[in-house]
Structure 1
Amino acid sequence: MKKILCAFSLLLPLLAQAETVFMAGDSTMAFKPVKDLPENGWGMPFSLFFNESIKVENRAMNGRSTRTFIEEGRWESIEKSLQPGDFVIIQFGHNDESEKKKDRYTPPEQYKANLARFIRETRAKGAIPLLMSPITRRYFNEDGTIQHTHPYAPLSREVAKEEKVDFIDMEAITREHFQQQGDENSALRFLQIPPDTHPNYPNGVRDNTHLNQLGAREVAQLALKEMKKMGHPLAKKLREPEAKHLTFSY
């Protein structure tokens, strides 16, 4: 019994030092259960990038806008859990801008006000907010360019400027990334499955909004790359690579 207590006492300092990264967003960020695979939110691979000093709480949820995230108490749950030194990554837009879906639509000014609320309440708890614009959808024009399908992306940029908050323009970054891959190769990163090839989607699926495992990993890597560029504190808390991996190169 004494040995168990002694071991636990050694863990206490590590637990006390742990910081939590809360992820607040929609389905493009969210964790996916086995029944929905190979769909992945980019928050899934992202959560594995960090060392033991970081705990990732992916609270993103399918179909949620800033408005419904608040109305359902999901934001309050994060806000009440925040401790000084924690982080909150905020990425909404896909559902807020869906005017035809009244269950989730959020008017532009309310969208901006909700994002500002998330940022201010995060700061009030001594935590660190990071705002992101929504990742691109994959719809190519006839000339081979990806369509701009996020009317709310500029609004997130406005909020970032007004609130003077760390910001990553994931809409522009992911659009450029998939643009470079082209129509055919970028399709390999999204939920595109022919009929009778996967038990979760027997009739197949052609989805240009949601990512598969490869797409999610690439988007997570793009987010991390930008965090490194901006000198974000999370970029200093990455897991240590295996020694043999340091012998590899690209």
Structure 2
Amino acid sequence: MLGACAPISELQANKQESEQAIRIVLVGDSTMATKSGYGDALCERFTPAVQCINLARGGRSSGSFRAEGLWKQVEDLLKDQSGRKTFVLIQFGHNDQPGKPGRSTDLATEFPVNMARYVDEVRAWNGVPVLVTPLTRRSFRAGVLENNLLPWAQAIEKIGQERHATVLPLNAKSYAAVQTMGEAEADTLAVAPPPVVNKQVDEAGSSRPDIAKLEPQGAPKSAFDRTHVGRKGAVFFADMVLRELMQAYPETKALVGPALTTEVAKEGSK
């Protein structure tokens, strides 16, 4: 009987060692950050033995995240990893767009350089860089979802090709999913319900809330908008990222509960 039990114990020990040897670090903006993004929901998907650290911060771009010293946290973690394999998921783009003083970066000359440098440094510190294209916004025009983050997604994909780094296509996946569900259902993914007053109808026939009146710039993400996500949206997009991560790195499937792994895979096949 002891001999029959030994392989099971060995498998359990190997699984535990695998979990303890893995760490996941999230780097990005508010669409990944605590309370306004999917990052914490993604961390919840992993077993307790996996150390998942959400370093994403609202309002940051590929340039300001480093300029403010936030990237130093990643360097410190990787240089003191104690033998752990560390995946660093990096997602920027929203605040790199024009019109954001102190944050905007040039799409042709700055953004690609910033993202490539992140990849190079993670590797130099023995981590595994995983680029993530920016989460889609959920603004529709005449029934068609806009994708003004596509150029940044394409820039990230190009960096991935040039640096032979994994790219999780969150922009394409989230765009397709939100377009399919439509505006009304997509609005249920927001931090708060859509307002019933102060609505504007643009010339193309799209009904849009006057966000400027609802949520002043710099205010906490507690009012309705079509960029940030509440709990429902966080779980929805976290599972989307998890599916892509498990596909790119099959070994991460062992870091997620069996029931959840099956559930996420099933949703992805629909």
Shift of 1:87: 1.1
SS at match of 2:44: coil
Query: Does the 8 A contact of 1:14 with 1:53 survive in 2?
Result: no
SS at match of 2:227: strand
Superimposed CA distance per residue, residues 127-171 of structure 1 (whole angstroms, 9 cap, x where no aligned partner): 1111010000011121x2211111312111111111111111111
Q: Counterpart in 1 of 2:37?
A: 41
Superimposed CA distance per residue, residues 46-88 of structure 1 (whole angstroms, 9 cap, x where no aligned partner): 0011123310110000000011100111112211211351110
Residues 1:105 and 2:104 aligned together: yes
Shift of 1:232: 4.1
Residues 1:59 and 2:59 aligned together: no
Q: Counterpart in 1 of 2:210?
A: none
Shift of 1:101: 1.3
Q: In the TM superposition, what are the counterparts of 1:1-250 in structure 2 within 5 Å? A: 17-32=20-35, 40-82=36-78, 83=81, 85-97=85-97, 99-108=98-107, 109-142=109-142, 144-150=143-149, 151-193=151-193, 205-241=223-259
One-letter code of the match for 1:220? Answer: A
Distance 1:145 1:125, change over 3 A: same
| Matches of 1:174 and 1:148, distance apart in 2 | 10
Superimposed CA distance per residue, residues 106-133 of structure 1 (whole angstroms, 9 cap, x where no aligned partner): 1122111111111111111211111010
Distance 1:169 1:241, change over 3 A: closer
One-letter code of the match for 1:48? Answer: E
Unaligned 5+ runs, structure 2: 1-15, 197-213, 216-221
Q: What fraction of aligned residue pairs are identical, expressed as a percent? A: 30
| Matches of 1:228 and 1:116, distance apart in 2 | 23
Q: Counterpart in 2 of 1:6?
A: none
One-letter code of the match for 1:56? Answer: C
| Matches of 1:70 and 1:177, distance apart in 2 | 32
Unaligned 5+ runs, structure 1: 1-12, 33-39, 197-201
Query: Does the 8 A contact of 2:191 with 2:231 survive in 1?
Result: no
Distance 1:175 1:72, change over 3 A: same
One-letter code of the match for 1:208? Answer: R
Shift of 1:209: 0.5
Distance 1:137 1:78, change over 3 A: same
| Matches of 1:53 and 1:141, distance apart in 2 | 44
| Matches of 1:94 and 1:176, distance apart in 2 | 18
SS at match of 1:188: helix
| Matches of 2:117 and 2:66, distance apart in 1 | 10
